[in-house]
Chain A
Amino acid sequence: SQTIHQWPATLVQPVGSPLSLECTVEGTSNPNLYWYRQAAGRGLQLLFYSVGIGQISSEVPQNLSASRPQDRQFILSSKKLLLSDSGFYLCAWSARDRVKNIQYFGAGTRLSVL
């Protein structure tokens, strides 16, 4: 069966520090991968998605970036964090199923920028 791992679960970082969140998927190949951010009490905002290694699409201009160095690995990064980057970050994957394209989520990373 497929599983998705995200780490760390929680993170407290000072303003201006770098960020690296990692997401890996097991049990499937060639997945679509996604990074979302959820502000407190709000819905999800799509940040990046990837359909293959090195292929990244950005939905919202910001100081975050994403990379996909391996087929099942998706990394969210920042060179200098802002206070507004605080939130709950969720990684998701979906199979190359054009009919349903159900997205399955990781457990999330709660980021606090102080």
Chain B
Amino acid sequence: AQKITQTQPGMFVQEKEAVTLDCTYDTSDQSYGLFWYKQPSSGEMIFLIYQGSYDEQNATEGRYSLNFQKARKSANLVVSASQLGDSAMYFCAMRRRGDMRFGAGTRLTVKP
């Protein structure tokens, strides 16, 4: 069964610093996709970044980058130059054969 693990219930980061949010996954499939979503207090899930299992380069989208280590089955999100508006829940997700599974989430708090 596919499983997504986010071991950090909460993380704090100083404004303008970088922070890494951890995500590990478990699958025996070779083809899968990894996603990160941001959920602010309003509740909407906002897509941040995608990494395909066959992508050789780490994905980047603006201040977000995904540190993909396939052999270790980890897909950590790096948020650089943190802003106060980055404070939110962050969810890692994996899609395998059309089935999407989410981790429990990490609450990121950016301190001024």
Contacts and interface: CB of A to CB of B under 8 A. Distances in A.
Asked if chains A and B come from one complex, the reply is yes
Interface of A: 32, 34, 42-44, 46, 49, 88, 90, 92, 99-108, 110
A46 B44 contact: no
Contacts of A34: 100
Given A90-B45, A107-B43, A107-B44, A102 B104 contact: no
Given A44-B91, A92-B45, A108-B44, A103 B105 contact: no
A32 B95 CA distance: 14
Given A42-B104, A110-B43, 8 more contacts: A32-B98, A43-B102, A43-B104, A46-B99, A46-B100, A100-B33, A100-B52, A105-B37
B57 interface: no
B50 A44 contact: no
Given A88-B43, A106-B44, A107-B44, A101 B105 contact: no
Interface string B86-105: 00000101010011111111
Interface of B is mostly: strand
Contacts of A90: 43, 45
A68 B46 CA distance: 24
B33 A104 contact: no
Contacts of B95: 101
A104 B47 contact: yes
B45 A102 contact: no
Contacts of A32: 98
B28 interface: no
B42 interface: yes
12 contacts: A42-B104, A42-B105, A43-B102, A46-B99, A46-B100, A49-B98, A88-B43, A104-B47, A105-B46, A106-B44, A107-B44, A108-B45
A43 B105 contact: yes
